[in-house]
Structure 1
Amino acid sequence: MKLLKTSFLIFLLSFSTSLLIAQDTQINSINEGSINDQFEFLIRKSGNFKGTNGQAYEAVKQSWLYALRAHTLDSLKTVRKDLNDTKAIVENQAKEVAELKSKLTNTQSNLDKTNLEKDSMALFGLQMSKGGYNSLMWTIIAGLLALLLLFIYKFKNSNTITKDAKKALAEIEEEFDEHRRIALEREQKVRRQLQDEINKQKGS
């Protein structure tokens, strides 16, 4: 509607300007010039006379009035046609603007969707922002690293315990061998003593 009003004002301004320009030139026929020129011609050519009562009158040819009316109607038809054409143009432009707005809205929606997809990552079927995804990945990496360090610590600790256990076992085995050797020597000594006693008993 605003565009229609603007177009109408421009049309009236140009029409008025043409009327003002046309005032400088006088026409010699009711069928020439603009409507304003024709009115001027009619006023200029109208005759003055006095009635019987002494009152002044102005006489105008009826054919001129008919011609002026026809020209005025033609001008009004032209103005209406121009207004209708302008209205149609404005309506078409409004329709195009609405279509462009709709396309712009769809484009903006697609752009927002594309930016969202670009700035997000899919994890287990869930969409996550890149920041959240990176945080989750670094958290998992840190957790795995902590588990690895714990495993290495446990392994070293277990290895140390195993070495200590092997060392203690070797010492126990060594002590056991020493004890068995001593016990064997003692047993042999006791057997010899027993044999000596048996021999003594037989000799006596």
Structure 2
Amino acid sequence: MNKVLFLSLACLALSGKMQAQETAATQNPVEDEFTNLIESSNDYQGYKVVDYNELVKLRNNASQHYTRLNEELITQKNTIDQQQDQINSLEEELQNTQQDLERVNAEKDAITFLGMPFSKGSYMALMWGIVGALLLALLFFIYRFKQSHSHTREARSKLDETEKEFDIYREKALEKEQRLGRLLQDERNKHNER
């Protein structure tokens, strides 16, 4: 954009300068007056006799033309200076715009996470790293849960077996106690009968 702007301003300045040069070349009244003066003067012994009033008029016209050309030159120089100032201000504005654009792009590409700026790539890597760590932690806890669950199931089955064995033992002990109680009672009864 900077190049396009600079080239368009340069072309504009050059075209104005070329038009001024073409105008000056085609419209030169001093040269026309010199030609008219020479053609209208009389010849005398190989010399041209020029009318004094015409010569003074030519000098005044040449002076006026010179003054007008100087004024035109000053005007064109002022125009060139103004255009150069405008070019400089546009270049400065363009530079500021480019800096703003770079800053906005940097802000757009940066993400603030926990108060720290990250580029999008770093942020994505960090997020996927956190997701990966959480997945690993989840898999670890699932493994630990399954392992603990299998130990708990095993312990419950052993507890059930032990309770069954204890119930069987209690029944046998109760039967034995009842049998021994009957035997004792039988012996007491025998002893009392005697």
Flag whether TM exceeds 0.5 (same fold). yes
1:8-47 deviations in whole A, cap 9, x for unaligned?
443222122234xxxxxxxxxxxxxx21221112112222
Decide whether aligned partners of structure 1 residues 191 and 120 sit closer, same or farther in structure 2, where only a CA change above 3 A counts: same
Moved more, 67-76 or 6-15: 6-15
| Alignment of 1:40 onto 2:30 | no
Give the match for residue 144 of structure 2: 154
Per-residue deviation, 1:63:
2.8
1:48-101 deviations in whole A, cap 9, x for unaligned?
223xxxxx3322223322221121111011111111101101111111111111
The answer on whether the counterparts of 2:38 and 2:48 sit within 8 Å (CA) in structure 1 is: no
Structure (1 or 2) with the larger CA radius of gyration = 1
* AA matched with 1:150: F
* AA matched with 1:61: D
Give the match for residue 23 of structure 2: 14
Normalised TM-score (structure 1): 0.71
What is the CA–CA distance in structure 2 between the aligned matches of 1:72 and 1:93, rounded to whole Å?
31
Decide whether aligned partners of structure 1 residues 191 and 167 sit closer, same or farther in structure 2, where only a CA change above 3 A counts: same
SS in 1 for 2:27: helix
State the identity %. 36
Give the match for residue 27 of structure 1: none
Decide whether aligned partners of structure 1 residues 153 and 5 sit closer, same or farther in structure 2, where only a CA change above 3 A counts: closer
What is the CA–CA distance in structure 2 between the aligned matches of 1:166 and 1:91, rounded to whole Å?
99
1:115-167 deviations in whole A, cap 9, x for unaligned?
22223211112222333323322332232123223212211221111110122
* AA matched with 1:15: A
Normalised TM-score (structure 2): 0.74
* AA matched with 1:146: L
Structure 1 vs Structure 2 CA RMSD? 3.3
**Structure 1: runs of 5 or more not aligned:** 20-33, 51-55
Give the paired residue count: 185
Give the match for residue 115 of structure 2: 125
What is the CA–CA distance in structure 1 between the aligned matches of 2:14 and 2:74, rounded to whole Å?
12
Which structure carries more helix by proportion?
A: 2
**Structure 2: runs of 5 or more not aligned:** 1-9
| Alignment of 1:100 onto 2:109 | no
SS in 2 for 1:121: strand
The answer on whether the counterparts of 1:46 and 1:59 sit within 8 Å (CA) in structure 2 is: yes
* AA matched with 2:54: W
* AA matched with 2:125: S
The answer on whether the counterparts of 1:4 and 1:87 sit within 8 Å (CA) in structure 2 is: no
* AA matched with 1:58: K
- Aligned pairs for 1:1-204 (under 5 A) are 7-19=16-28, 34-50=29-45, 56-176=46-166, 178-179=168-169
Higher relative contact order (CA 8 A, sep 6+): 2
What is the CA–CA distance in structure 2 between the aligned matches of 1:189 and 1:175, rounded to whole Å?
20
Structure 1 segments, 4+ long, off by >6 Å, are 1-5, 183-200
Give the match for residue 31 of structure 1: none
